[in-house]
Structure 1
Amino acid sequence: MIKLLAVDMDGTCLNKRSRMTDRTLDALKKTADAGILVVPATGRNLGCLPWRIVEEKGLYRYVISSNGAQVTDCATGEAMFQTMMKKETALKLLEDCRKIRVGITSHINHQYLVQGGLLALMGRLIFGKDAKAVYRVHSMEETVRKTRHGIEELQFYFLTPDSRRMIREVLNRYPDLMSAYTSIYVEVFSRGTSKGTALLALRESLGISKEETACIGDGENDLPMFAESGLTFAMGNSVPELKKAADFVVPDNNSDGAAAAIERYLLKLKEK
């Protein structure tokens, strides 16, 4: 019997406009009403969760954020699990990237920090109403140097054709860091950070087995989460590797695929 559903947000519960439909929200509510723990598992920081689930009281208690850098008990505010980047490592990396033309953002203390005005504007345009914790900073180095909190993640946006190559060359000198590339930016976090590691820590804390866990996702960063789940659903828009690893492939994120996974499979299993 499934007791926990870990579900990705962007590309899974959210459509191409970064919006959650009524059908998907209703499916998540039915999951919670059936006694299954709904756990958002996202690359976003805690302060930028989709507003529709934030405003739905009682929908979830636990959140896996920043690609697994932290698991938070939202009822108590407790960080149940953390894998933070060392401050000295983050500062050295930022120093090494000074001469590379990149935009810089970070996840620190549940906030999305953006160096410079243009990226801050882009962040608010992308996140929209979800951007409750997007803040502009003048210098990311100075912000990291002064913070008393752990660094969940750094992100570097490629501003020139050479930026990607140059960033990769720098990151190759940091064996204690992991990176995940997209077409326009790279996410950097502490080695060992993954949604899978975070989900395992949460499962063990709650006494829930792998066989009692389900998950839905679309990206490479969801693969470790699949490895810690007994029932897995890949969205129709998923990367090929995730589709191969999934028990079921459902419609894409513009066709309420996450809702379909819940309605057609998860809740049906619960009824048996």
Structure 2
Amino acid sequence: MYKLVAIDIDGTLLNDKHEITSEVKNAIQKAKALGVKIVLCTGRPLVGVQQYLSDLELREEGDYVISFNGAMVQDTFTKRVLSHLTLNYQDLKEIYHFSESAKLHMHFFDEKTLYTPNRHIGKYTVGEAYLTGAQLVFQEIENTPTDLIMSKAMLIDEPDILEAGILKIPASFHQKYHLVRSAPHYLEILNKEATKGNAVKQLAMSLGIERSEVMCIGDQENDTSMIAYAGLGVAMGNAIPEIKAKADFITASNNESGVAVAIQKYIVN
């Protein structure tokens, strides 16, 4: 019996209209009624998860959420933060200077706010603010507080421009940070230990849940670590080929309530 199900949000929980279908909601509620921990595990900031936690009734005692691609784990009932793996001001300066040299847009988050140092704000930064509901603030690096606690930074641009920029990333970045694509136009830069897989693992261990009792469902590169960790890794039908290759099961697409299909098959039935 699977005791914990970690579910990515965009492209997984949500269909392309950014909706949770009734089939997915019903399947999640049935699994929770059986005592299964349902944990939303997303690259989004906390503010971008709140509505879905409410919609799925995941704010009760014993409920948890993983945000910022594994950088933060929080108890949604008590609001207690179990883990927050962060970056600092020196990291921000280094990332910003690289973005300037590679001619890429960037933005960064603290726990609650989305900041950009770009006077000409990129459309994907605007889109991120709109999608997540995060407050967007223009913040020049030299005016940023040096005691900044940064949850993550992101390089964002058109996919071909971003891919060209990624080729210029110095080896030191790969040694110091966790770099992961969460969408064709997003490269996320996080604390070296901040991955969805590590966050799910630590939460499961703290709850006394074995790896074999964990199911993880996702669709993009940033879901790779949790798919690999899970006792049952589930790739969405719309997942990238790399995720499908690592998964134990390929479910239906996000537009076909693939999360519900997986939960019905391996938990409810």
- Band of TM-score, shorter chain: 0.7 to 0.9
Describe the SS at the equivalent of 1:146: coil
Deviation, 1:100, is 4.5
Alpha-carbon distance change, 204 to 186 in structure 1, aligned in 2, over 3 angstroms: same
Aligned-pair RMSD on alpha carbons? 2.5
How far apart in 1 are the matches of 2:136 and 2:240? Answer: 32
Q: Deviations over 1:77-126 (max 9, x none)?
A: 2221232123211222213433554332222114333456664642354x
How far apart in 2 are the matches of 1:166 and 1:220? Answer: 18
For the pair 1:243 / 2:244, whether they are aligned, the reply is: yes
Describe the SS at the equivalent of 1:264: helix
**Aligned residue for 2:27?**
27
2:127 is matched with which residue: 113, 122, 130?
122
Q: Deviations over 1:139-178 (max 9, x none)?
A: 25256x3275521211122269656434542444422012
Q: Deviations over 1:217-243 (max 9, x none)?
A: 112222211232212211111122222
How far apart in 2 are the matches of 1:64 and 1:168? Answer: 30
**Aligned residue for 2:49?**
49
How far apart in 2 are the matches of 1:259 and 1:253? Answer: 10
2:104/2:165 contact within 8 Å kept: no
Q: Which runs of 5+ in 2 are unaligned?
A: none
**Aligned residue for 1:253?**
254
1:111 is matched with which residue: 113, 116, 119?
113
Describe the SS at the equivalent of 2:66: strand
1:48/1:112 contact within 8 Å kept: no
How far apart in 1 are the matches of 2:70 and 2:185? Answer: 21
Deviation, 1:51, is 2.0
How far apart in 1 are the matches of 2:188 and 2:164? Answer: 14
Q: Which runs of 5+ in 1 are unaligned?
A: none
Which one-letter code corresponds to 1:40 in the other structure?
A: L
Describe the SS at the equivalent of 1:24: helix
How far apart in 2 are the matches of 1:186 and 1:262? Answer: 30
How far apart in 2 are the matches of 1:158 and 1:195? Answer: 23
Q: Please give the residue correspondences for 1:134-149 in structure 2 after superposition, counting only pairs within 5 Å.
A: 134-142=134-142, 145-146=144-145, 148=147
**Aligned residue for 2:233?**
232
Deviation, 1:194, is 0.8
2:72 is matched with which residue: 70, 73, 97?
70
1:231/1:247 contact within 8 Å kept: yes
Deviation, 1:42, is 0.6
For these two proteins, the number of residue pairs brought into alignment is 262
Describe the SS at the equivalent of 1:254: helix
1:81/1:201 contact within 8 Å kept: no
1:46/1:111 contact within 8 Å kept: no
Percent pairwise identity: 27
1:102/1:159 contact within 8 Å kept: no
